């Protein structure tokens, strides 16, 4: 009996085929990892934006509650670098200050407490109407990235218990 000759070309074809499959698998893994890291980055940015929005909403609700408990006239002091709104309430004199990209709150003579940071603009002012004078707080946060899809703008309106204005 004669031994059968093996085909060298068939084995080479299988090796090339395996290398192509390995290359395709690596390409798919690369695309998958790139998509996964993009999703992780977007998820982190979304979480940070949600935290900023939540902080702004909590600060706005605190401001509204404080203004609703005002017991005296509401005064606004504005300078080139900051804006301060002052009024008396049951817990003492309350003050809100916007300076250096942050909003601060102070009760009585206690130190200023940072209420909100990363603030681009803040404006608290009276909005006189026919029978009542509500107060409006226009707030804009700084976006976390240059390619932000949303502008974080907020408007809070509060009506003091009496018609308290300067």
pLDDT tens sequence across 48-102: 888 989 999 999 999 999 998 888 888 898 888 889 999 888 888 999 999 989 9
CB 137 within 8 A of CB 156: yes
Phi, psi of 12 (to 5 degrees): -65, -40
Q: d(Cα 71, Cα 39) in Å, to the nearest integer?
A: 50
By three-state DSSP, how is residue 44 classified?
helix
Query: What pTM was computed for the model?
Result: 0.76
**Is 8 among the domain residues?**
no
**Is 16 among the domain residues?**
no
Q: What percent of the chain has pLDDT over 70?
A: 87
CB 136 within 8 A of CB 153: no
Structural domain of 38: 32-158
**Is 13 among the domain residues?**
no
**Is 59 among the domain residues?**
yes
**Is 23 among the domain residues?**
no
**Is 19 among the domain residues?**
no
Phi, psi of 82 (to 5 degrees): -155, 165
Task: Count the domains in the chain.
Answer: 1
């Amino acid at each position: 009996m004669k031994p059968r000759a093996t085909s060298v070309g068939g084995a080479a074809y299988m090796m090339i085929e395996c290398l192509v499959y390995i290359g395709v698998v690596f390409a798919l893994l690369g695309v998958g990892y790139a998509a996964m890291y993009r999703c992780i980055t977007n998820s982190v940015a979304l979480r940070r934006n949600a935290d900023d929005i939540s902080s702004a909403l909590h600060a706005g609700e605190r401001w509204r509650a404080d203004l609703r408990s005002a017991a005296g006239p509401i005064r606004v002091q504005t300078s080139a670098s900051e804006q301060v709104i002052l009024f008396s309430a049951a817990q003492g004199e309350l003050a809100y200050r916007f300076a250096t990209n942050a909003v601060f709150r102070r009760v009585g003579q206690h130190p200023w407490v940072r209420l909100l940071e990363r603030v681009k603009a803040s404006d608290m002012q009276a909005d006189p109407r026919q029978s009542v004078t509500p107060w409006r707080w226009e707030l804009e946060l700084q976006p976390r990235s240059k390619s932000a899809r949303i502008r974080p703008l907020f408007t809070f309106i509060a009506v003091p218990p009496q018609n308290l204005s300067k």
